[in-house]
Structure 1
Amino acid sequence: MLQIKSAETQAELQGILDLQWENHLHVLSDSEKNEQGFVTVRHSMEQLQLMNSIARHIIAKEREKVVGYILAMTKASKDLVPILIPMFTQFDRLNYQGKRVSDFDYLVVGQICVGKNHRGQGLFDRMYAAYREAFSGTYSFAITEIAKSNTRSLSAHQRVGFEVIHEFKDDLFDWAIVAWDWF
């Protein structure tokens, strides 16, 4: 039976890390990246624990195995993952709905991943429904950046309600910044 819930235990956080590594762009073939998508950042256990103590990650579990996750980050967790600090800086320079993003209480999707054997079954949408339910009373919207070459992820995010609010390029990728308004 599949369960969608907040991450609570060390074993669940380890399950996130295991799934993250299985789907990291450095371990996937080019065809897998193109067809199935990928994640770009690897977190440490300490980073996941600290992030989870501020805003709980949403996970999907089948029996005791984590088969999907959405990481939650807030302004308070901005400095916990140094490679993501430029992302927060970029967000805070942008306007959204006529105001600076930094003027809102927003939630950053630190990363989302669905395990290979669970794709195409609606789990992405179900996890995001749980994410919205958990956080929409506190935060105005969710925001994240997605490599434009990760077309599966970009399309799936747009399907659940995210809209592209900005695009930019860095040394690695062309990026789309997407936001999901919860009001």
Structure 2
Amino acid sequence: MSLKLKVATLENVAEVLTLHYKYQVDSISEQDKQDGFITTAFTESHLTRLIEDENGLFIAIKNDKIVAYAMSASWQFWCQWPMFQYMVDNLDDSTLNQNRLTIDNSYQYGPVCVDKSVRGQGVFEEIFNFSLQNMAKRYPFMVTFINKINTRSYQAHTRKVQLNVINEFSFNNNQYFKLACNTH
């Protein structure tokens, strides 16, 4: 499989949004939901800011088509959504290898999305690691969360890329795992 990884540009926004809405919880088909889903809704404006201000949208391209993306950005970017503000307010409720996590030494990774046409082919691991390598230049720690009912995402992040569960929390009547890793 010939997979190209790159940092997204504004020319990629429309295609990323098409992939995103295919797997976003508000628009995903019921049959696809069991294989994982994305909770946060994004607009063209959000992705434009993610690219221009954060350089934090990473894409995988196969046969000239975007088949996966991973988002990563500062906590300041993510705080426009209540869920992420809650995470910032509670960053200090856990540590990673006895390191205190702060808005300055960590960033929020995710969501990540892999089209079902390429699942099981290593694309998830490649886009995850590409994102991590790019963000390691700015932050020593990565933090994310996974809805407890999203078992496919949990298995991928704890088995394929070995994130550590550092806490659990509730938000908006949902239960989540908080995960983290060193970026180096």
Query: 1:152 maps to which residue?
Result: 152
Q: TM-score, normalised by structure 2?
A: 0.87
Question: Percent same amino acid at aligned positions?
Answer: 26
Letter in 1 for 2:105: D
Instruction: Please give the alpha-carbon distance, in whole angstroms, between the structure 2 residues aligned to 1:82 and 1:88.
Output: 10
More displaced 10-residue stretch of structure 1: 89-98 or 106-115: 89-98
Q: How many residue pairs get matched?
A: 181
Q: Is the 8 A contact 1:55 1:74 kept in 2?
A: no
Instruction: Please give the alpha-carbon distance, in whole angstroms, between the structure 2 residues aligned to 1:167 and 1:64.
Output: 39
**Structure 2, unaligned stretches of length 5 or more?**
none
Query: 1:67 maps to which residue?
Result: 67
Q: Is the 8 A contact 1:47 1:80 kept in 2?
A: no
Label 1:33 to 1:162 Cα distance change in 2 as closer, same or farther (>3 A). same
Larger % of helix: which? Answer: 1
Instruction: Please give the alpha-carbon distance, in whole angstroms, between the structure 1 residues aligned to 2:48 and 2:82.
Output: 15
Query: 1:174 maps to which residue?
Result: 175
Query: 2:45 maps to which residue?
Result: 46
More displaced 10-residue stretch of structure 1: 104-113 or 140-149: 104-113
- Render the CA deviation track for 1:119-157: whole Å, top value 9, x for unaligned: 111100011121122122321121111001111101101
**How big is the shift at 1:103?**
6.4
CA-based RMSD: 2.0
**Structure 1, unaligned stretches of length 5 or more?**
none
Letter in 1 for 2:37: F
Letter in 2 for 1:42: A
Instruction: Please give the alpha-carbon distance, in whole angstroms, between the structure 1 residues aligned to 2:123 and 2:171.
Output: 31
Label 1:103 to 1:51 Cα distance change in 2 as closer, same or farther (>3 A). closer
SS across alignment from 1:124: helix
Query: 2:143 maps to which residue?
Result: 143
* Residues 15-54 of structure 1 mapped to structure 2, 5 A cutoff: 15-34=15-34, 36-53=35-52, 54=54
Q: Is the 8 A contact 2:133 2:183 kept in 1?
A: no
Q: TM-score, normalised by structure 1?
A: 0.88
* Residues 96-111 of structure 1 mapped to structure 2, 5 A cutoff: 96-102=96-102, 104-111=104-111
Label 1:170 to 1:79 Cα distance change in 2 as closer, same or farther (>3 A). closer
Query: 1:57 maps to which residue?
Result: 57
**How big is the shift at 1:16?**
1.5
